[in-house]
Chain A
């Protein structure tokens, strides 16, 4: 199988915010330098909540406690640990894919992991960053619940089943 060929998508149900945060912590244990994780979903679908849980879990390994604000305003928030740098990116306010190429995301992958909200605003620039990519789509399901659709690419193909297993058949 070529590293680019995606695995079948997996579906997970996230009945409440605690479940979304738990998924963030599981993903945090699996991330490696050079990874890109994309987060799709409408306003309020839970993208920042999931990203925040992931970032905080990665930082917690090193005893670092930090606020993880929404990056909508600054576009990029970076977090450093001795192992890797985390780039939390939000392309919500970008409509012009050319602008994405100027953010320096290429260099970030040398020693870091990139989480991108609203990757579709990048017009393919995000997908071109790394073969090791996990695409996550979040959608609202009734009263406060969410559904997550996870599609693994490259190195994530063998890492994802371990994460999904914890959720049974979702």
Chain B
């Protein structure tokens, strides 16, 4: 491999409740296929610190990021067996996310870039999720992307680095937020998504009939607010009937909620697959699911069936790379660097930064 075709990048992620750093190498094979190699991937979850609050508290997050980031960055470099001088670039999430945390990560990266003379790459957190499958599976553009997490529910057509066409998004709550709030309604614990999934395993998904927002409607938009309200009313009705929720009630409500979400998401994805199929070109059609909610097994199983029916292949990154991590930021940084896309040290952090506003000046 020649130096022009390999890029070694440090990535820093601090946009929500994880402090993370990683070193990734991106290489391009002679046939043009990309290949990613994770040399180190250190994630310090702040979940324990947040657990008493039943959620992610941003200022606590910013302080914890400050406390741990230098050590994690050093550890990522050490585990990769490289020094700052060996890197081709330094990438950090510069939005969207909790602004305090984003500032901490971006400032750290700027300091390292300035000290080492290496280029800074300001990465959009969502692009990190969106490009992860190219690192893990080496898949080429284009593909259909379902991005589902605590803060986002989007369907995007991805045709290149920095090239995203928004097909649909949530008009109210994100799907991960709905999972968290429903989990909190029944005191299932934090983080709410995995807790709800565990509870749902023992439940009857058919016991409660819940509304399916947007189901069957044209387009690819999501809505989860009404479903959340319906679950709340169901919880209250059951409590009134018997003075409290039994474990069985909780399991049945969780299972019914999860099945309804899967059904609604599958419906939206079905529309999106029909929309993008003509754009997919000659290669295999791929549906990629990214973001923390991609870890939900019931949703994955449902989407796998939907994808097969539509002639798509479902691709999901390994579980540890579905949630926030540094490797995805390092990878997205390497992808941008390979196209010559670097950022100045005056780059500002951004609390909001929609993927569809990204522009890539180069075709790829």
- Which of A's residues lie within 8 Å of B, judged by CB? 42-45, 48-49, 52, 67, 69-70, 72-78, 92-96, 99, 102-103, 140
Q: Contact check: which of B57, B170, B185 meets A69 at CB < 8 Å?
A: B170
Interface string of B44-70 (1 = CB under 8 A from A): 000000001111111110000000000
Instruction: Say whether A78 contacts B53, CB under 8 Å.
Output: no
Q: Contact check: which of A42, A75, A92, A94 meets B98 at CB < 8 Å?
A: A75
Instruction: Say whether A92 contacts B59, CB under 8 Å.
Output: no
Cα distance, A77 to B98, chains bound together (Å): 10
- Which of B's residues lie within 8 Å of A, judged by CB? 16, 52-60, 96-99, 150-151, 169-174, 176-177, 181, 185, 225-226, 228-230, 232-233, 351-352, 354
Give chain A residues whose Cβ lies under 8 Å from the Cβ of B352: 74, 77
Given A70-B173, A70-B177, A77-B352, decide whether A44 and B228 contact each other with a Cβ distance below 8 A. Answer: yes
A-B CB contact pairs (8 Å), 8 listed: A43-B228, A44-B226, A44-B233, A70-B177, A72-B177, A73-B151, A77-B352, A102-B59
Cα distance, A96 to B229, chains bound together (Å): 25
Instruction: Say whether B53 contacts A95, CB under 8 Å.
Output: yes
Given A49-B225, A74-B151, decide whether A44 and B54 contact each other with a Cβ distance below 8 A. Answer: no
Instruction: Say whether A73 contacts B59, CB under 8 Å.
Output: no
Instruction: Say whether A75 contacts B58, CB under 8 Å.
Output: yes
Between B59, B171, B228, the greatest number of chain A beta carbons within 10 A of the residue's beta carbon is seen for B59
Instruction: Say whether B351 contacts A76, CB under 8 Å.
Output: yes
Q: Contact check: which of B55, B60, B226 meets A92 at CB < 8 Å?
A: B55
Least CB separation from B182: chain A residue: A43
Cα distance, A74 to B92, chains bound together (Å): 18
Give chain B residues whose Cβ lies under 8 Å from the Cβ of A69: 151, 170, 172, 174
Q: Contact check: which of A73, A75, A78, A95 meets B177 at CB < 8 Å?
A: A73
Given A49-B172, A70-B172, decide whether A77 and B351 contact each other with a Cβ distance below 8 A. Answer: yes
Cα distance, A90 to B87, chains bound together (Å): 40
Instruction: Say whether A73 contacts B169, CB under 8 Å.
Output: no
What is the distance, in angstroms, from A154's C-beta to the closest C-beta of chain B? 28
Cα distance, A92 to B185, chains bound together (Å): 12
Give chain B residues whose Cβ lies under 8 Å from the Cβ of A70: 172-174, 177, 225
Give chain B residues whose Cβ lies under 8 Å from the Cβ of A95: 52-54, 57
